[in-house]
Structure 1
Amino acid sequence: MKKLAVYCGASLGKDSAVVTATKKLGQYLAMNHIDLVYGGGRVGLMGILANQVLDLGGNVYGIIPNQLADRGAALERLTDLTIVENMSVRKQKMLDLSDGCLALPGGPGTLEEIIEAFSWARLGNNNNPCVFYNIDGYYDELKKMFDTMTAHGYLTKEDRQKLLFSDSLEVIFDFMNNYIPPKIRKY
């Protein structure tokens, strides 16, 4: 694992444990020489994570759509800041640059980006492992939904095992380092 795409919000949320875990993730990335690839923002969890990695000597690659950069949302001190045309280009570029995908707690944008990455993995368009950093059980209900999809036959058991929900960085990076992409469905 050389570069990790992290999806997270431009908001801090209300749970201080999430801020603490975000800083812990930043420390882990910097100490293990794993570059951060993220949405390029300077506020919320995005800003906390990127600044933590940078403050500890790590590399951070931000990809931000021009509409957000024009509003002043970009963190300028990054190793590399790429301004792209729109969110679709950003999502593709983040996948292209990274070796894994991780979602911190966040809102609809965070959820949409990690779900798309997992969906693309099932289609053969993303070989990166996808993980939900399940701090304080934030993603418990979503985990149940994926289990329900599997129980109802909309997601295979094999593919369900390719999506991890965990609050342990050790478990997360062990999963990512041993990940084998899903087999591509044949029709």
Structure 2
Amino acid sequence: MKRVSVFCGSNHGASILYEQDAVRLGTQLAKEGITLVYGGSKVGIMGAVANASLKAGGEVIGVIPTMLMEREIAHKGLTELIIVNTMHERKAKMEELSDGFIVLPGGPGTMEEFFEVYTWAQLGEHQKPIGILNTNHYYNKLLDFFNHMIEQQFLKEEYHSLLIVEEEPNLLLDKFKHYTPTVLPKWISRQEI
């Protein structure tokens, strides 16, 4: 695994634990020689994960749309900053550059990025690991909702099992190293293979 995309908030959140885990993850990525790919911002836990990775000697690639560059929130000290036209291009570029995805606490933008790569995995567009760093149990209600989707037959258990959920950055990265895709893409029957 050479590069991992991290989706996370542009705010710090209500608990110091969110930033602390972002720092721990950024540091761990650098120690393991994994390049961080993220949204290119200097603010919130986005900035914290990038700064931690850089401080630990890691490489960091930011992908930011022009509209956010113009608002002067781009991180100027990255290994590389890729400027794209739209948010859609940002997600596509991050997916293209990355060997896996990690979701830290964040708001609607983080959720939108997560759900897009999760949906792509279900459809067989990629077979890359998707991890949720469940800091301070932030994602417990989302994980409960996934169980509700399964109960109501809108999500199959096999697609739910695509997600790697951990509360410790090092445990999450460990599972990434041993990840083997085992789920067939949605809409492909086993007889077609």
Q: TM-score range by the shorter chain?
A: over 0.9
Structure 2 Cα separation of the partners of residues 111 and 20 of structure 1: 20
1:132 aligned counterpart, secondary structure: strand
Q: Normalized against structure 2, the TM-score is what? A: 0.93
Offset at 1:98? 0.6
Aligned amino acid, residue 180 of structure 2: I
Structure 1 Cα separation of the partners of residues 178 and 25 of structure 2: 19
Offset at 1:9? 1.2
- Does residue 48 in structure 1 map to residue 15 in structure 2? no
Structure 1 gaps, min length 5:
none
Structure 1 Cα separation of the partners of residues 157 and 180 of structure 2: 15
Q: What does residue 145 of structure 2 align with?
A: 145
Query: Is contact 1:139–1:165 with CA below 8 Å preserved after alignment?
Result: no
Q: What does residue 100 of structure 1 align with?
A: 100
Structure 2 Cα separation of the partners of residues 171 and 153 of structure 1: 30
Offset at 1:110? 0.5
CA offsets per residue over residues 24-61 of structure 1, 9 Å max, x none? 11110111111100000011111111111111110000
Residue pairs, 1:71-90, within 5 angstroms: 71-90=71-90
Structure 2 Cα separation of the partners of residues 174 and 56 of structure 1: 19
Query: Is contact 2:28–2:170 with CA below 8 Å preserved after alignment?
Result: no
Q: What does residue 163 of structure 1 align with?
A: 163
CA offsets per residue over residues 126-168 of structure 1, 9 Å max, x none? 2221111100100000001111111222111111111122202
Residue pairs, 1:1-187, within 5 angstroms: 1-181=1-181, 182-185=183-186, 186=188
Offset at 1:115? 1.2
- In the alignment of these two chains, the number of paired residues is 187
Structure 2 Cα separation of the partners of residues 92 and 82 of structure 1: 12
Structure 1 Cα separation of the partners of residues 18 and 185 of structure 2: 35
Query: Is contact 1:143–1:165 with CA below 8 Å preserved after alignment?
Result: no
Query: Is contact 1:102–1:133 with CA below 8 Å preserved after alignment?
Result: yes
Higher alpha-carbon deviation: 149-158 or 49-58: 149-158
Q: Indicate the RMSD between aligned Cα atoms, in angstroms.
A: 1.2
Q: Normalized against structure 1, the TM-score is what? A: 0.96
Aligned amino acid, residue 76 of structure 2: E
